[in-house]
Amino acid sequence: MEEVALKQANSLIDQGHSVTVFTCRPDKQAPLQEVLDNGTVVKRLRSINFIESVFGVTFPIVSPHHFLWLLKHINDYEIIHIHDVFYMPSWLASAACRMRKKAYFLTQHVGIVEHPSMLVMFIEKMVYTLFGDHILRNSEKVVAYNDNVIRFVKSRGVKATAIMQNFNGIDTDHFFPAKAAEKKSLRKQYGFAQDARIVLFVGRLVPKKGYQLVLDGADPANTYVIVGYGNIPPRYSELSNVTLFGPATQEQLRDLYRLSDVFAFPSVGEIFTLVHQEALASGLPVVVADDPGYKRYNIDRSRMLMPKRTEKEIAKAIRTVLDDSTLKHAMSQYGRQIALERFSWRENYPREYAIYGLGDKV
């Protein structure tokens, strides 16, 4: 979500508009306010994020007093664009808009997220009932990135005429395939064997992302690189062929895509996430869990593998890619082609913010 908002801000700044990002600050080292190099103003709210450490669910808690600042300054901005109704800053911003009779636009990133804890599922549904539904139904327009989210927002009472479907966007100049010599150099730089069969996973270490399915079906002949943050059971960290990289910068992530052999991302309820798109743009063969949401995209399933979401089937698909160099090459070329045609942020973000028209200040 942060990467989406950042790229949208960059695109708007490039067109001469001003942008302020209102967000959380769970990291006490981050400044409360700063101006980025391109002029984007970032205002961070003091917050605590203990819920994530306990349940693996990102949900920073902020003080309601920030509502007073929003109420005072909301009319300083011509356009308000909220990202996802699930989070407290979104609640405060939408409430300020309603009190000031100001329209706002919304990008809804996900629907109900499956979680093994019944308590978490109950709280999640209560959040949508108490706050989310009202924010969704009162949005001027709602942007959704896949059919699953569209079905979700319609089920919460959003009219079809208020919904716009678009893709996430990535920088296809930043994420691009590595030549053989570059791949060799990157493996040396990051300490991986030149002949390793590297399987890459990128995402938060929570059940819905499917990292555990990748590792439960791990082949001793492969090397598994797990990128992301979250709590992980000791049985995975003890595996000798697993590297828990932790969170990565955009530069590190680009390198890891380019030095790997296959990208495995068996998430549930997510279609063409940013990491999925980045892997495709990097020419990395992709294995994702099958989902009805892919049907409308006319994907060649022989060049982007979509097995059932089980450890056995995912392991089988990974092995199929790694054992067939001709298939790997075809999947690499296909992924890059798809990324260039559909996922360039320079194409997608202008379509997204065209929903509200542009004045001199955004």
Q: Which domain holds residue 47?
A: 2-169+345-356
Residue 350: predicted pLDDT = 75
Cβ neighbour number for residue 7 with a 10 Å cutoff: 19
Residues 91 and 40 reside in one and the same domain: yes
> Rounded to two decimals, what is the model's pTM?
0.77
Residue 46: predicted pLDDT = 86
CATH number, domain containing residue 323: 3.40.50.2000
Residues 158 and 215 reside in one and the same domain: no
- Within-domain flag for 362: no
Residues 186 and 309 reside in one and the same domain: yes
Residue 360: predicted pLDDT = 44
> Could you give the CA distance from residue 246 to residue 228 in angstroms, rounded to a whole number?
5
- Within-domain flag for 232: yes
Domain count, the chain: 2
- Within-domain flag for 174: no
Residues 338 and 349 reside in one and the same domain: no
**358: its two tokens:** 């542009």
> Could you give the CA distance from residue 127 to residue 348 in angstroms, rounded to a whole number?
30
Residues 349 and 338 reside in one and the same domain: no
Task: Average pLDDT across each block of 10 residues of the chain; the chain has 362 residues. List them in order.
Answer: 82 87 85 90 87 74 88 93 93 95 92 76 86 93 88 92 85 93 97 97 91 96 94 88 94 97 93 92 97 86 96 97 97 95 80 66 46
Residues 295 and 349 reside in one and the same domain: no
Residue 174: predicted pLDDT = 92
